[in-house]
Structure formats: structure tokens, C-alpha cells
Chains A and B, each alone.
Chain A
Amino acid sequence: MLRSLNTAEQAMQRQQVRIDALANNLANVNSTGFRAVMTRVAEEGAQENVAKNMEGGLAEAQDAQQPNALNNDNTLTKGNWLPVQPLELYHATDTRGGAVTATGRDTDVALLSRGFFAIETPAGERYTRGGAFTINEQRELTTPDGLPVLGTGGPIFLQGEDFTIENDGRVMVDGAQVAQFKVVDFGDPSLLEHEGSNLLRAPANLEPQAVPAGEIEVAQGHLEGSNVNAIDTLVAMIAAQRAFEVQSRVMTTEDQMLAKSVNDLARPTA
């Protein structure tokens, strides 16, 4: 009896966390190069399925809650309680591209090919698709927060009069190549973790692999926008809100049943 109260409570908490994550996506609908957090609610103990789904289904939208059904291997035998399976929550990074718009600023760079720009931070290398770069006092190409953008040979310095960024990611100053953007990709980029400030961090088991120079394609004077899909996100939020309500109904029903058993059943009939 109390167990299902507990289950409903946990399910509500998970839907709440899910709404929080989706709200963050909506708030970043105009953030340069932002990658949405995809939320997925699955049954606990079904992690393999989830992993498989994630491999195959990442391109899908944040999908609705998986049916709260029993697994095939969960057989109900005599003397066995029905296993309680609170819903488990998983997040992944949406790797789809955002819309590219022309800005006309020389230091705006959109990455049109796969991969991420490498950024140097005090805590180690981070990755971004947000190419709204700027130039600092040392004439170094940096993010808007002042973190150096990395080339294949380290930070990119733009000493000289004119600089251009070629389509293949070469940085030219006064007609001579001074750097090549370091663009890396990952076996499964959906595992990248969000760090804020448009930066993504690779977890320990995810190794960056350099994208071959021939595959890199960038556009100077352009920016890639956020990949948040407002419709998908809103639909997922509605689904999460309703799931939250359903669980609250489970709780109140449970509460009523408890009240009945405690107050009425125990009362000796006249």
C-alpha cells in the first residue's frame, strides 16, 4: 500500500526534473550553437533497452514516456511481490544541427560539418558548436567569455591587418595561413555533458577524435543557432505535466484507500 505511494512520489519527482530540463531547452531557444538536452523516462532495470533505444533513436524527438508495463522476465509467482519499478530518467545531448544564419561579422564562424570547435578552459578542453567568437587584447581568437579557441597548433593568434577564415577551416592573416581550426568529433556525441556557457564536456570514457582536415567545413560570417525544437519540447513538457498529474491521482486514490482501510475497515460493524 505505502509502497505505491512511494512509487508515485518518485515518478512525480522524475517528471519534475524532466520539466526542469525541458524548461532549460526552451529558455535557450535563441542561444548560439546550443545543443538541447533530450530527456527520456524509462523503467528502472531496463537499462539495456534504454541504451539500445538511445543508439537507434537519438534522432527522434524527446519521446513520450515509455509504457509503464512489466518486462517479460518479470514473472509473477506465488509468494512474490509484484516488483515496484519507479520510472528512471535519462538525459542525452541532442546532436542535430541548428539553423545557420548569416551575420556578416568576421569573427562569427558556423561549423557546417560534423564535429565541435575545441575551446581551452582552465579545467581542460571543452567543446562547442557556438561560433560567436571575438578577439581579445592579445589578438587571440576567443569565445565571448574570453576562453581561447584552439587551432591544431594551440590558440589562434591574429596578428596582422586582415584575416579571413577559409571554408576548410584554415585561418589566414594577410594571405598566409596562421592556423587551422581544431575540430573534433566523438563516437557518440550524445554522451557529451553540458557545462553551461555553450560548452560541452567529454566524460572520461569518451575520447575526442580529430575530424580530418578534408571533412571540415566552416562558414565565416555565419552562426549556427540553437537546435531546440519548440514544438517537440512543448509537447514533451505537456506529456510530462500530464504524467505528473496522473501520478498525483494515483497518490490521492491511494490516500483514499488508506483512509478507508484505516478508518472504516477497523470500525466494528454494529
Chain B
Amino acid sequence: MLRAMGTAASGMKAQQLNIDTISNNLANVNTTGYKRSHAEFQDLLYEKVMPGGLVDAEGRALPTRVEVGHGVKLVATNKNFTQGTVVNTGNPLDLMVEGDGFFQLRMPDGTIKYTRDGSFKMDAERNVVTSQGYRLEPEIIIPEDATELSVSRDGIVSVMVAGDDSNVQEIGQIELARFPNAAGLAARGGNIFAESPASGTPILANPGQEGMGETSAGFLEMSNVETVDELVSMISAQRAYELNSKTITMADEMLQTVNALKR
């Protein structure tokens, strides 16, 4: 039968996965610290109907060949770690990294994971935690008598103690992690990333030092999804999907033609 049908079907499936990736990006357009994904495609194997380099009767090498491919496959969905848009929340525990660097989180199993989502809260034990309750590493505990909290651009967390406006106490220092290849980090969902062999080992430093971005309190980094770009990709994916469906129609018509040969 016609290879074109299977080829077009692979094309439609690929575009479907493309649309899936794009719609996940669009669904997360307002997710704090979300990094957009991009679907990467490659062609499938080729069948040599006539191999290249054949020699004709007079000894001349034919310059051409006939090769037929079998369609397309999805090879990777790559994360893009460019800076997201900024929103001002005014909440002193909302932190944003301006530039390179991830916040470090201590997971319940003791391992360290990484996030760009700086919407921190305080839990029952007065620890600084993420929305999911994972503790910031190094640990910061807010004293009970603290009234006002501030985080400096170099990551120093200080509080004012009740009843004494001149008594400012430093209670901790935020430390950021940076990776030689952030795109190689393994996404764990919930805005959390894990170190992987491809990302390389983390480089730790305080904000503003050794190439780290600075922290700004009262701001949040939103997703880096550009709705216009995603919509354009979506349209192009949809049209590519349609083109491939046209191929199937065409292959079907050709088979009809074949059937009509014998009346």
C-alpha cells in the first residue's frame, strides 16, 4: 500500500504532540516560575528505492538516487530557561531571582531540589517554605517576636523585633544554585527541578555574587511563556496537521483510482 498514508499519520501524530506541548505552555501562562517547553522533531528512517552511486552500462556513475522517508518523530521536549515576566506582589516573602540562579529546597527525603518559584510562606514551625511546604535551604526560621521581615538584594533575611524599631536582626542568608547547563535539569513538576547528569553539578553562591542574580523581595517571576509566540506555533502546528490530513485524502483518492482500474 501507499507509504504516504503511514507517513502522513506520523506527521499528524507529531503535530498533535506539538499542540499538546504548546497547550501545556499556554495552560501555565500564569504559573509562577514556569519555564516553557519546545517540541523537537526529526525525520524517520529512509528506504532506498534506488540507491545512489549506481553505475550505468557505460560506466558513468548516476548522480541521483530515489529515497523515500517514513515520516517524523518527536525526539525531545526542551525546557527554555529564559527569564519570565515580573509581577509586583508586595508580599515580603515573595522572592524573585533577577538573572541566573535557583532557590534550593530541602525535600522530605533529604535531597536538594531547585526552583525558580519564589512564592515562599511560613509554616507552623515558622520555617520559610514553598507553597507545597518544602523548606528553603539553608533553613530560615522566623522568630516569634518578629514584626517585619525584609530580604536584601544580596539575600540577607532580617526581621524587626516587636516593640523595638531599632532592633534589626539578621536571621539568615539565602543561597542560590546555578548550573553549567540549566536546560539539562530534570523537571519534577510543581515548578521543581532536579540535578541531572546533563545539568552538571550546582555552583552555590549568595545572590549577586559569582554570576548569580540578585533577589528582589515583593516580586514574583511568572512564566516565560509568550502567548503570541505560542499562538503562532499553534497555528503553524494546526496547519501542518491539516496538510498531513490532505496527504491522507490524496492517498485515499489514489487508491480509489486503483480500484476503478478493474470495473
Contact = CB atoms under 8 A, between A and B. Distances in A.
B80 A24 contact: no
B38 A103 contact: yes
Contacts of A51: 63-64
B68 A24 contact: yes
Contact of A241 (B7, B52, B254): B254
A144 B236 contact: no
B66 A26 contact: no
A91 B48 CA distance: 10
Given A30-B237, A144-B75, A244-B254, A23 B183 contact: no
Contacts of B3: 20, 23
A188 B18 CA distance: 34
A contact face: mostly helix, strand, loop, or mixed: mixed
Contact of A137 (B63, B71, B197, B257): B197
Given A31-B72, A193-B65, A132 B180 contact: no
Contact of B7 (A24, A160, A194): A24
Contacts of B124: none
Contact of A29 (B243, B254, B257): B243
Interface string A14-30: 00110111111111111
B42 A198 contact: yes
Interface residues of B, number: 70
B2 interface: yes
Contacts of A134: 76, 78, 183-184, 198
A91 B66 contact: yes
A29 B4 CA distance: 15
Chain A interface bracket (under 10, 10 to 19, 20 to 34, 35 or more): 35 or more
Contact of A89 (B14, B44, B66): B66
A20 B2 contact: yes
Interface stretch (A69-77, A78-86, A207-215, A245-253): A245-253
A40 B37 CA distance: 38
Contacts of B162: none
B62 to A, nearest CB: 7
A23 to B, nearest CB: 4
Contact of A27 (B56, B71, B200): B71
A137 B4 contact: no
Nearest to A226: B41
B177 to A, nearest CB: 12
A194 B43 CA distance: 9
B258 interface: yes
B67 A37 contact: yes
Interface string A186-207: 0010010111111000011100
Contact of B183 (A54, A107, A158, A195): A107
Contacts of B198: 134-137
Contacts of A21: 66-69
Interface string A77-114: 00000000000011110000000000111111000000
B146 interface: no
Contacts of B45: 195-196
B100 to A, nearest CB: 9
Interface in A112-167: 130, 132, 134-137, 139, 144-145, 158, 160-163
10 cross-chain pairs, A with B, having the tightest CB-CB distances, nearest first: A27-B11, A24-B69, A137-B197, A23-B4, A90-B64, A20-B3, A31-B41, A196-B45, A144-B75, A104-B82
Given A51-B64, A136-B198, A197-B42, 11 more contacts: A23-B71, A24-B70, A28-B11, A30-B72, A37-B68, A54-B64, A90-B65, A158-B180, A191-B52, A191-B63, A194-B46
